[in-house]
Amino acid sequence: MAGRERVVRMSVEQPLWRALTAYRVLTLIYAALLAGFGRDKWERPWVAVAFLAFLALWTLVTLPRVANAASCTKRFLGLDLTVALTGILLTPLADFDAQHMDGPTLPSIWTAGSVLAFALKGGWRWAAFASTLVAAANIVERGEPSEDTFHNVLLVWVASIAIGYVVEVARASERTLARALEIEAATRERERLARDIHDSVLQVLAMVQRRGTALGGEAAELGRMAGEQEVALRTLVSSGLVPTTRVSEDSAEGAVVRAVEIPEEESAEADLRALLAPHAGSRVTFAEPGAPVVLAAGAARELAAAVSAALDNVRVHAGPDAQAWILVEDEPDEVIVTVRDDGPGIPEGRLDQAEGEGRLGVALSIRGRLRDLGGTAELISVPGQGTEVELKVPKVSRGKAGTAR
């Protein structure tokens, strides 16, 4: 849908897979350097050379396999762990003294990369399984394991389980965040649709009810039916069950006026003055700056709709003879629009009561719109001294999306 906010999310664990890819390459180089510097101690150097050559080929060929969770299959994890365990168990064959010394194994710390792959793929349980097998292989390889051997085995076991647990928590958090974003998007869409309904259907039904009651006869019956439908629709809107032409009544002239529609082009801009100027009339005074008041098209449209909703409230609640004033101020960082009237004002607690009755003109059509734009709507009313609504919208840099957020 045009104008709808688009959210692009990247998996929180993806950087961990990239880090694992780099880790496998670096530890391969480290294992090769260890074998090269210690080549004089190998009784069967060809075993070490053959395994490290295979390990290098395996590591480079399988780099795409550890690029993400989807490509790192269970079968690959099993083969990768088998390579690591084989390297550990082959160490005494290449070095007869390996069982009596605390030197590194053939794959050295490359083995931890295989265990970490289990942790990233399946969480702490998979990590515990893989690290336990590696621990057993190290103990068998040493024959008579020393304190350092047990220390290294425990370190790998704890570290891999901790990383696996962190991955599980990250995945749960990501699912929660995705759900929250979906709920927020659905709520914003529902509020937008509720505003549209309030600005069009509900106001037309209210107009039909008032006119029908005034005319009497059959028209009065139509007005009564329209009033019942208005109440029913307000209940649906306020309960959030509406899954979803801007019109407003000019009570003085009995006309239905459609507001200007602005195309939702992401790079479009609009002069707010042009959208507000049609409201000027015998009972509405419009004061504007001499220069264009430029806003993103979507923001200008929503702000103009909020102003129109405020004027609708003046017509309905302040009486047919009430005067209204619209003042537009173009500040460096924001645009301020003030709508003031000389009506009787709003009694204390009336807005909360109206919202509870499903009359959401101020809550949705005004405050809801400004909240979605990142702005504020402040209503000041003193009984007997009229009402003032101050709307503030932050400016958006030119060239950015022109849709309301």
pLDDT tier for residue 231 given thresholds of 50, 70 and 90: low
Mean pLDDT of 120-130: 89
Class of residue 326 by CB neighbours under 10 A (exposed 0-12, middle 13-18, buried 19+) = buried
Minimum mean pLDDT range among 9-18, 104-113, 173-182, 252-261: 252-261
Helices then strands, counting H and E runs in the chain, come out as 12, 9
Predicted confidence (pLDDT) per residue in 310-326, tens digit: 888 787 777 777 888 99
- pLDDT cut 90: percent of the chain above it: 15
Number of residues in the chain: 405
Contacts of 250 (CB under 8 A, 6+ apart): 256, 257, 315
Q: Residue written as tokens 């090269």?
A: 36
Mean pLDDT of 109-116: 90
Give CA separation, 115 vs 14, 105, 124, in Å: 17, 16, 10
The neighbour count for residue 372, using CB atoms within 10 Å, is 19
Contacts of 18 (CB under 8 A, 6+ apart): 67
387 close to 252: Cβ distance less than 8 angstroms: no
The pLDDT value recorded for residue 135 is 86
The pLDDT value recorded for residue 264 is 45
Angle 110-122/74-94 helices, nearest 10 degrees? 160
Predicted confidence (pLDDT) per residue in 77-92, tens digit: 999 999 999 998 888 8
Average pLDDT, the chain: 75
SS3 sequence, 145-190?
CCHHHHHHHHHHHHHHHHHHHHHHHHHHHHHHHHHHHHHHHHHHHH
How many angstroms separate the CA atoms of 279 and 286, rounded?
Answer: 8
SS3 405: coil
How many angstroms separate the CA atoms of 61 and 196, rounded?
Answer: 58
Mean pLDDT of 208-226: 69
The pLDDT value recorded for residue 24 is 92
The pLDDT value recorded for residue 1 is 39
For the chain, the C-alpha Rg in angstroms (whole number) is: 35
What are the φ and ψ backbone dihedral angles of 327, each rounded to 5 degrees?
Answer: -120, 125
Could you say which DSSP state residue 403 is in? S
Could you say which DSSP state residue 324 is in? E
- The token pair that represents 188 in the structure block: 């914003």
Predicted confidence (pLDDT) per residue in 283-315, tens digit: 888 888 888 899 988 888 888 888 888 888 787
pLDDT tier for residue 170 given thresholds of 50, 70 and 90: confident
Mean pLDDT of 329-343: 90
Contacts of 146 (CB under 8 A, 6+ apart): 102
259 close to 307: Cβ distance less than 8 angstroms: no
The string of DSSP letters for 25-65 reads HHHHHHHHHHHHHTGGG-SSHHHHHHHHHHHHHHHHHTGGG
Mean pLDDT of 17-30: 92
The pTM assigned to this predicted structure is 0.48
Q: Is the pLDDT of residue 210 over 80?
A: no
The pLDDT value recorded for residue 154 is 80
- The token pair that represents 193 in the structure block: 């649709």
Q: Is the pLDDT of residue 275 over 80?
A: yes
Q: Is the pLDDT of residue 40 over 80?
A: no
pLDDT tier for residue 9 given thresholds of 50, 70 and 90: very low
pLDDT tier for residue 193 given thresholds of 50, 70 and 90: low
The neighbour count for residue 241, using CB atoms within 10 Å, is 9
116 close to 160: Cβ distance less than 8 angstroms: yes
SS3 121: helix
What are the φ and ψ backbone dihedral angles of 345, each rounded to 5 degrees?
Answer: 85, 175
The pLDDT value recorded for residue 298 is 85
Amino acid sitting at position 248: S
How many angstroms separate the CA atoms of 9 and 177, rounded?
Answer: 10
